[in-house]
Structure 1
Amino acid sequence: MSRLLKLVALFLGRFKVDKKMNMKNLAVFDFDHTIIDDNSDTAVLQLINRTKIPNELKKLYKADGWTAYMQGIFKVLYENNIQQPDIDNLIKNIPEVQGMSNLIRELHDNMNYDVIIISDSNTHFIQIWLEMNNLQGKILKVFSNPAQFDDAGLLCIKMYHVQDVCALSTKNLCKGMIMENFVKEQHSNNTIYERIIYIGDGENDICPILRLNEKGIACVRNKYRCLVLVNKILNGESIDKKEKDQKQDYSLKSQVCIWENGYEILNYLKNNLK
């Protein structure tokens, strides 16, 4: 190769060709009481007489958190010969919140949304429910506490992560952190989200909602805990942090959609985002 060609190759090598950015929207869903009309963890208690749950296990939640408590519940189910088909069938038959499957399909198929789930349930419950309802192909990613049955038939669950940064979240799951990290990862892979909507119902949904910008939409289920907190913030009131006796003022930047079913969310999006 001539010296001139080498110089040209060296010059061109200093410049990377930018890939075209993929402009999309993002819909983030909670699972329990948002997509499904129940709490998938507590629903499994239907499979056993609650008198068989030892008192020390009932105290475990306060001491070690929800994930440790649910591992104890799964062990009790196992010890009482409640097997994987029993658990799976119960989860698969939990009804959806009215209109949620339709909402997810519309967002994915017709409205240029990536759809993800961030939930304090567990990956096994979420995946088998999505498969049962033919939604697995509409969900880009599920973030939840990892869970699987071991060789003996015991459902084993682990914390998604351990965090002490966010005072609004439990130690095993900060939904706001997960959402922001996902958005950053997608940006590095050339996908930019022009708008983020968050759909949830509970106290642990307030953290990601507070991280939405002015284009974002907080879709909050009516008559549930998240709406109580949102109203406090909108009224200028402080809300409790996870540490005892600590309160803090927060501000909400996004729009708020109050809903009772998936059709109401879809109508809100279609009527307000033209």
Structure 2
Amino acid sequence: MCISTLERLSNLTLDMPQEQRFLVLFDFDETIINESSDDAVVRALPDQQLPDWLINSYREGRYNEHMQRVLAYMAERGVSKDAIQSAVEKIPPSPGLHELLQFLRNHQQDFELAVVSDANMYFIKTWLESAGVCHLFRKIFTNPASFDASGQLLLLPFHSHLCKRCPDNMCKQVILRDYLAGRQKERGGVAFQRVFYIGDGANDICPTQALGPRDTAFPRRDFPMHRLLLEIQESQPANFKASMVSWATGEDIVDYLKEVLEER
């Protein structure tokens, strides 16, 4: 996942004190990009919409399986790899996203970036590479996806887990905890000073439960993650230890991160 470029960037910052680094985790759909990538690729269909029988086949907690059926249907209708790639590349970024990534690019010695998304690897890498920002992300956690010999995009689940709150194919809290533990070991026992989680959806709630008092959750303002966190803060405050800063544009996040850097 853009590893060769990242290795070169790492070599430039080897002498930086690792204990001063922060981790920034991004969701993808409606966070990095301004809509759902799954909805965007459907527009590559001849009639630009799914039939009712396919829409109604969705079952709660099994969205990954639903998208497998959607991609199979698109292949049957003759939607090509080029058409899917074009649809993904045309998705607009969320407001202020480029300004936020430019800020993080300018402070690479302070921030490590990763994506944690229930989209899929093909959509995410295609968009990030088209936008010229793939090299900024050390890791992408998402569902595997690749084209087979017939030209169909095959989608697989990311992992299995025991969390009852999350879809069968992905628990973002499990990913976050495993990543933090693994990176701390790789960094010689040095943990990240703070963790920042940027998202929008209901499936971004679970990982925020693993954040500590010095960490920050950035829910997109008036989106499900924001509304649910407000409810948790009111009714279950013990379940949310981090601070919360809502955002409407990436520049809202930049303003907060500037303050964090000034604290050092």
In the alignment, what sits opposite 1:8? none
**Structure with more relative contact order (C-alpha pairs < 8 Å, separation 6 or more):** 2
Q: 1:251 aligns with which of 222, 239, 250?
A: 239
Q: Does the CA-based 8 Å contact 1:104-1:115 persist in structure 2?
A: no
Structure 1 Cα separation of the partners of residues 233 and 117 of structure 2: 25
Structure 1 pair 232–183 and aligned structure 2 pair: CA distance change class (3 A): same
In the alignment, what sits opposite 2:217? 218
Q: 1:102 aligns with which of 79, 93, 99?
A: 99
Q: Which structure's CA Rg is the greater one?
A: 1
- Structure 2, unmatched stretches of 5+, are 1-15
What are the residue-to-residue correspondences of 1:1-274 with 2, within 5 Å? 22-23=18-19, 24-48=21-45, 49=47, 53=51, 55=53, 57-62=54-59, 65-110=62-107, 112-163=110-161, 165-190=162-187, 192-236=191-235, 251-271=239-259, 274=263
- Structure 1, unmatched stretches of 5+, are 1-19, 238-248
Amino acid at match of 1:196: V
Structure 2 Cα separation of the partners of residues 75 and 224 of structure 1: 30
Give the superposition deviation at 1:103. Answer: 1.3
TM-superposition CA deviations, 1:102-150 (whole Å, max 9, x none):
3123224316110000000000000010000111110000000000111
Give the superposition deviation at 1:271. Answer: 3.0
Structure 1 pair 60–199 and aligned structure 2 pair: CA distance change class (3 A): same
Structure 2 Cα separation of the partners of residues 222 and 97 of structure 1: 12
Give the superposition deviation at 1:58. Answer: 2.7
Amino acid at match of 1:102: E
| TM-score normalised to structure 2 length | 0.86
Q: CA RMSD in A?
A: 1.9
Q: Does the CA-based 8 Å contact 2:184-2:191 persist in structure 1?
A: yes
Give the superposition deviation at 1:47. Answer: 2.0
Structure 1 residue ranges, 4+ long, deviating more than 6 angstroms after superposition = none
Give the superposition deviation at 1:151. Answer: 1.1
Q: Number of aligned pairs?
A: 242
Q: Does the CA-based 8 Å contact 1:30-1:199 persist in structure 2?
A: yes
